[in-house]
Amino acid sequence: EIVMTQSPATLSVSPGERATLSCRASQSLSGHLAWYQQKPGQTPRLLIHYTSTRATGIPARFSGSGSGTEFTLTISSLQSEDFAVYYCLQYNDWPYSFGQGTKLEIK
């Protein structure tokens, strides 16, 4: 089973600033990494798939990068609606697995 580790657990950033979230896999994912955003009381929303491809309707301030076992989600200029919990998902091998999440909070 592939273990996904996200860091940090909580990230405090001011609106307008840049946020960088990390996700590490216990083995290579061949790029099969997605990012989801979850706001309180809502279902998760897909942001990024295949490491760096934005899902339909996702603003350009969200970008994904990485390779092998190390991946990053960057939000270039935080808006109020971006404060949420973010999860990475590996879909390279069964069973699929999520990271434990990073809570992005207002500083």
Partner 1 sequence: QVHLVESGGGVVQPGGSLRLSCVASGFNFVDYGMHWVRQAPGKGLEWVAFIRFDGTKLYYADSVKGRFTVSRDNAKNTLYLQMSGLRGEDTAMYHCAKDRSGSGDWFDPWGQGTLVAVSS
Q: CB-wise, 35 or 83, nearer to partner 1?
A: 35
Site map for partner 1, 35-54, x if CB under 8 A?
Answer: -x-x----xxxx--xx----
Helix (H, G, I), strand (E, B) or coil at 1: coil
Does 87 sit near partner 1 (CB under 8 A)? yes
Q: CB-wise, 67 or 77, nearer to partner 1?
A: 67
Does 55 sit near partner 1 (CB under 8 A)? yes
Q: What phi and psi, each to the nearest 5 degrees, are found at residue 81?
A: -75, -5
CB of 13 to partner 1, least distance (A): 20
Q: CB-wise, 28 or 98, nearer to partner 1?
A: 98
CB 79 within 8 A of CB 58: no
d(Cα 106, Cα 88) in Å, to the nearest integer?
Answer: 21
Task: Provide the sign of the torsion angle of the four alpha carbons 66, 97, 39, 57, taken in this order.
Answer: positive
CB of 36 to partner 1, least distance (A): 7
d(Cα 79, Cα 14) in Å, to the nearest integer?
Answer: 9
